[in-house]
Amino acid sequence: AAGVIQSPRHLIKEKRETATLKCYPIPRHDTVYWYQQGPGQDPQFLISFYEKMQSDKGSIPDRFSAQQFSDYHSELNMSSLELGDSALYFCASSPGLNTYNEQFFGPGTRLTVL
């Protein structure tokens, strides 16, 4: 069965640079969620989209922005990167807007900021 695809899988950036992470949800899933997991931490919800509109917002820094496109893929744009942004970034998808629907997680993008 098709799963959530994230790219790139690994990314190394310098401080103050920008990064773009991409997420391709499971086919026919119209809701996408972004989570950030720091080293040794639990995943923290950043932001979610349903039908190309932002649906919920969590602890996403103002330096980050995200959007969902007409084909339902989503991109997380990160600017003025800081050392503390180094983390695993997960995308998850689900069918429908109900937050109680099970979310299916992608493999993650490991971002390292030097």
Partner 1 sequence: ELKVEQNPLFLSMQEGKNYTIYCNYSTTSDRLYWYRQDPGKSLESLFVLLSNGAVKQEGRLMASLDTKARLSTLHITAAVHDLSATYFCAVPSGNTPLVFGKGTRLSVIA
Among 48, 68, 74, 93, binds partner 1 (CB under 8 A): 48
Rank residues 37 and 79 by Cβ distance to partner 1 and give the closer one: 37
| Strand blocks (E) in the chain | 5-7, 10-13, 19-24, 31-37, 44-50, 53-57, 64-68, 74-78, 87-94, 104-105, 109-113
What distance in Å separates the CA atoms of residue 23 and residue 91, rounded to the nearest whole number? 6
Number of residues that bind partner 1 (CB under 8 A): 22
Among 7, 13, 30, 56, binds partner 1 (CB under 8 A): 56
Contacting residues toward partner 1, per CB under 8 A: 33, 35, 41-45, 48, 56, 58, 88, 90, 99-100, 102-108, 110
